[in-house]
Amino acid sequence: MKINKRLISVMGCAVLLSLTTGCATRTVDKHARNMAGSCAACHGTNGHSVGGAPVLAGLDKTYFITQMKDFKSGARQATIMNKHAKGYSDEEFALLADFFAAQK
Amino acid sequence: MSVNRREFLKIGAAGIMIGAFPGIAFASNELIPKKGQRVVVVGAGFGGATAAKYIRMWSGQKIEVVLVERNTNFVSCPMSNTVLGGTRTISDLTGNYTTLQKKYGVNLVQGEVTAIDPDKKTVMLANGHLSYDRLIIAPGIDFMFDRVEGLSAKVADESIPHAWKAGAQTTMLRKQLEAMPNGGTFVMSIPAAPYRCPPGPYERSCQVASYFKAHKPKSKVIILDANADITSKKGLFTAAWKELYPGMVEYRNTSNVVEVDVASKTAKTETENIKADVLNILPPMKAGAVAGMAGVVGADGRWCAVDFLSYESKVHKNIHIIGDAVSSSLPKSGHMATAQAKICAAAVIEMLDGKQPDQAPTLSNTCYSMVSGNEAVHVANVFRFNAEKQAMVSADGGGVSKARSEAEGAYAASWLQNIMSDVLL
């Protein structure tokens, strides 16, 4: 009985914790962040390109997703991006779009 | 009896004393007092420097990071073949660690690691030690000079450079090409895969040919490849040789260089001797020496097996390996080292917090090769973790350029700017 009560309070804490971290990190999905890490070689840290490749930081979400889908289908031709786009799913496009849109 | 006992006690005491010596050695001074959770990163190339930066950035500067590097500066190996072609110098490829220290609070220790104790979780240097909670090693590659008779580290430094770590040898090789007479022969060898930067040797042949075409048009490039065929971007390189450098580049497959004669600059394969004016031997490669110190090299004696969710060693807990030293089907490239470094950094942060790392790591590789002064070709792939295979597997849709282009040459230059900035700034 005592144990159960403790268990419940632990569970309550866990729920509270997950709620708070959920709120605090809504814009930092770690899986998306980790995945976006690979884009930095060409597009800069967090999408802040310092070279000739486009800046992704702060890019409009819908625009990002449309471009990626067009790269994937071949509707938009590019040198590299048609290959990379084919490697990701639509769900991953959305995750990446969220991540880059949130970069200031 | 009592003498025996006394003698036994003496031996016992001596034994204890001998046993205590390594303990005394490890009780030497802590180079930087450890205040909280600490990650030590050994090797500040593409992989190590990136891991250091990203752990600081993603942990909100909570985790201490000590980065150990023996060199004073960062020199990019990617694009260093263009030094041979003449469109860049080593200084164009050189960066420093100032921003990692000032902006990210990375503790930089310049020095050489002498030993690693996985049980005590310490890294030894000549002047003291560093304790860690987790260790990341990014040891890059070392050369197996003993596989080529007549070759040694000294010979490579003095007369037959590999120039496969960008720096003094790259500049030396360029100078040798400049001093070579028009009509001379440049002979280069490629070891059996896996080796650092699969397309790099073929890119090198193009860069040297590009220099010859402009300045020494009667000269020749001979490639002795231990592999049965061109290992990367085959159609693009053969097109470049044929169309840009007709009659200049000669490719010989299944030509394993087993011996060199240093004085006459002659390369010997199992079947032929080829005399060169400038000789460039790439010996077989293995994980850098630090991997051996950590005891994380696999049964092949060359590469390190890791868990691809965290890059933690399959041999020792709390030691992670990233970059060229890792045993995997991932290409040994600069971009790949940075991508692995980020997955590793994220995992280390979670694991130090008692949590599970990202269970679906996904990363990508973009690799450019300059086939002339201003044209490039690429290979690009996405890789994702396959739980069943416990390996990183190439996703569909990756591949190489349709043809070389100046546009890709410009993107390659942009890639260099961005990746160096991502690693160091």
The pLDDT of residue B28 = 72
CB contact under 8 A, A38 and B398: no
- Residue contact B364–A43, C-beta within 8 A: no
Q: Under a CB-based contact definition with an 8 Å cutoff, are residues B132 and B35 in contact? A: no
DSSP assignments along A20-62, one per residue: HHHHHTTT--HHHHHHHHTTHHHH-GGG---SSSPP-TT--HH
- State residue A9's pLDDT score: 41
Q: Is B342 on the interface with A (CB under 8 A)?
A: yes
Contact A52 B411 (CB under 8 A): yes
B111 touches chain A (CB under 8 A): no
CB-CB under 8 Å, B413 with A39:
no
Pairing of the two strands B134-137 and B38-42: parallel
Cβ–Cβ gap A41/B362 under 8 Å: no
Interface probe for A, chosen from B46, B338, B340, B366 (most Cβ of A below 10 Å), is B366
Chosen from A80, A91, A93 to mutate, greatest number of chain B CBs within 10 A: A80
Joined together, the tokens standing for residue B161 give: 């450079």
> pLDDT at residue A27 above 80?
no
- Which runs of consecutive H residues, i.e. helices, occur in B288-405? 289-294, 334-352
Residue ranges covered by each domain of chain B: 1-25, 38-142+286-424, 148-283
CA within 13 Å, CB half, B348? 39
Say what the pLDDT of residue B207 is: 98
Do A84 and B380 make contact, defined as CB atoms within 8 angstroms? yes
**B366 in contact with chain A, both atoms CB, cutoff 8 A:** yes
Count contacts between A and B (CB, < 8 Å).
118
Q: Do A34 and B396 touch (CB under 8 A)?
A: no
CB contact under 8 A, A33 and B397: no
Distance CA B123, CA B117 (A): 6
Residues of B in contact with A42 (CB under 8 A): 366, 411, 414-415, 418-419
CB contact under 8 A, A30 and B421: no
Is B362 in Cβ contact with A38 (below 8 Å)? yes
pLDDT number for residue A7: 41
DSSP B74: E
- Mean pLDDT in consecutive groups of 10 residues from the start of chain B, 425 residues: 44 42 58 96 98 98 98 98 98 98 98 98 97 98 98 98 98 98 98 98 98 98 98 97 98 98 97 97 98 97 98 98 97 98 98 97 97 98 97 96 97 98 98
Nearest to B368 by CA among B414, B327, B326: B414
Classified as helix, coil or strand, B322 is: coil
CA distance B63 to B352: 9
**All residues at 6 or more sequence positions from B46 whose CB lies less than 8 Å from its CB, including other chains:** B76, B78, B138, B323, B334, B335, B337, B338, B341, B419, B423
Q: Chain A partners of B415 at a C-beta cutoff of 8 Å?
A: 41-42, 51, 53
DSSP category for residue B30: B
User: Taking the CA of residue B104 as centre, how many other CA atoms within 13 Å lie in the half-sphere pointing to its CB?
Assistant: 28
Q: Which of B334, B384, B401 sits opposite A79 (nearest CB)?
A: B401
Provide CATH code, domain B38-142+286-424.
Answer: 3.50.50.60
Distance from CA of B269 to the nearest CA of A (A): 38
Chain B interface mutation, best of A18, A27, A34, A49, highest count of B Cβ atoms under 10 Å: A34
Selected residue of B349, B418, B419 to mutate for chain A interface (largest A Cβ count, 10 A)? B418
| Own/partner long-range contacts of B116-120 (Cβ < 8 Å, ≥24 apart) | B116/B42, B116/B290, B116/B293, B116/B294, B116/B295, B116/B319, B117/B26, B118/B294, B118/B295, B118/B316, B118/B317, B118/B318, B118/B319, B120/B26
- Strand B391-394 and strand B376-386: the pairing is antiparallel
Q: Do A31 and B360 touch (CB under 8 A)?
A: yes
Burial tier of B9 (Cβ tally within 10 Å: 0-12, 13-18, 19+): exposed
Cross-chain Cβ contact A79/B362 below 8 Å: no
Contact A86 B398 (CB under 8 A): yes
The Cα–Cα gap between B379 and B369 comes to 9
Two tokens, residue B423 = 């690693």
Query: Does the distance separating the beta carbons of B381 and A42 come in below 8 Å?
Result: no
Cross-chain CB nearest to B421 (options A33, A45, A79): A45
State the smallest CA–CA distance between residue B262 and chain A in angstroms. 40
Instruction: Find, in chain B, the residue whose alpha carbon is nearest to that of A71.
Output: B397
**Among candidates A34, A49, A83 on the partner chain, residue whose Cβ is nearest the Cβ of B346:** A34
* Nearest of B347, B332, B422 to residue B140 by alpha carbon: B332
Q: Which helix (H) or strand (E) holds B137?
A: strand B134-137
Q: Name the CATH superfamily housing domain B148-283.
A: FAD/NAD(P)-binding domain (3.50.50.60)
Of A87, A81, A90, A96, nearest in space to A42 by CA: A81
Distance CA B288, CA B124 (A): 16
ipTM for this prediction = 0.89
Instruction: Write down the architecture of domain A28-101 according to CATH.
Output: Orthogonal Bundle (1.10)
Q: Is the CB of B339 less than 8 angstroms away from the CB of A38?
A: yes
Angle at A48 between CA A45 and CA A52, to 5 degrees: 110
Cα–Cα nearest to B163, from B171, B175, B155, B154: B171
For chain A, which residues make up each domain, given as ranges? 28-101
